């Protein structure tokens, strides 16, 4: 795996080469086998997981199977800036190569490379805002009469 792998992730699209390099240096390179858990629902969410190669199945106790993601997927980005439990479990469907950025490493970046950390936090906030907007859109088209 190389620093160039980060270019494939939308979350890092607006970051400079230097910012991506700084973030990459803090990431763990992980390989998992089919069936291995990347993380489990209700565990403390404490890392961003990037799928570089392979397929990952997502599921939850409440909703069942949620689907699968492949290379380019970023899982758990919000966990870098907000404490809370995982909303779903993730299992390797195939052999996977992952990059993992732990919250503790992100906090080090806040101190040591604040520009890179801030740019990543902005990208995470932008993703969350997009999800909120898409969730609100149907409500705005069909407002509820509260009278």
Q: What CATH code is carried by the domain that includes residue 105?
A: 2.60.120.10
Mean pLDDT within 110-136: 88
Q: Is residue 30 part of a domain?
A: yes
Q: Is the pLDDT of residue 112 over 60?
A: yes
pLDDT tens digit string along 35-94? 999 999 999 999 999 999 999 999 998 888 889 999 999 999 999 999 999 999 999 999
Any domain includes 143: no
Q: How many domains does the chain have?
A: 1
DSSP-assigned letter for residue 87: S
Q: Is residue 142 part of a domain?
A: no
69 assigned to some structural domain: yes
The answer as to whether 82 is a domain residue is yes
What pLDDT, on a 0 to 100 scale, did the predictor assign at position 8?
Answer: 86
69: exposed, middle or buried (C-beta count within 10 Å: 0-12, 13-18, 19+)? middle
Residue 14 is classified by DSSP as T
pLDDT-derived band at 6 (thresholds 50, 70, 90) equals confident
Residues contacting residue 128 through CB under 8 Å, at least 6 positions apart:
78
Q: Is 146 within the bounds of a domain?
A: no
Residue 28, strand partner residues? 100
List the domain range (segments joined by +) for residue 120.
3-134
């Amino acid at each position: 795996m190389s620093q160039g792998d980060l270019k494939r992730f939308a979350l890092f699209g607006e970051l400079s080469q230097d910012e991506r390099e700084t973030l990459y240096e803090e990431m763990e390179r992980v390989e998992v086998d089919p069936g291995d858990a990347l993380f489990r629902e209700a565990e403390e969410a404490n890392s961003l997981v990037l799928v570089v190669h392979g397929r990952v199945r997502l599921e939850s106790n409440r909703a069942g199977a949620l689907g699968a993601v492949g290379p380019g997927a970023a899982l758990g980005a919000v966990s870098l800036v907000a404490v809370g439990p995982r909303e779903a479990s993730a299992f390797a469907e195939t052999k996977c190569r992952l990059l993992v950025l732990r919250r503790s490493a992100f906090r080090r970046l806040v101190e040591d490379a604040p520009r890179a950390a801030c740019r990543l936090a902005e990208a995470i906030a932008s993703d969350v805002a997009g999800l909120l907007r898409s969730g609100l859109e149907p409500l705005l088209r069909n407002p509820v009469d509260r009278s």
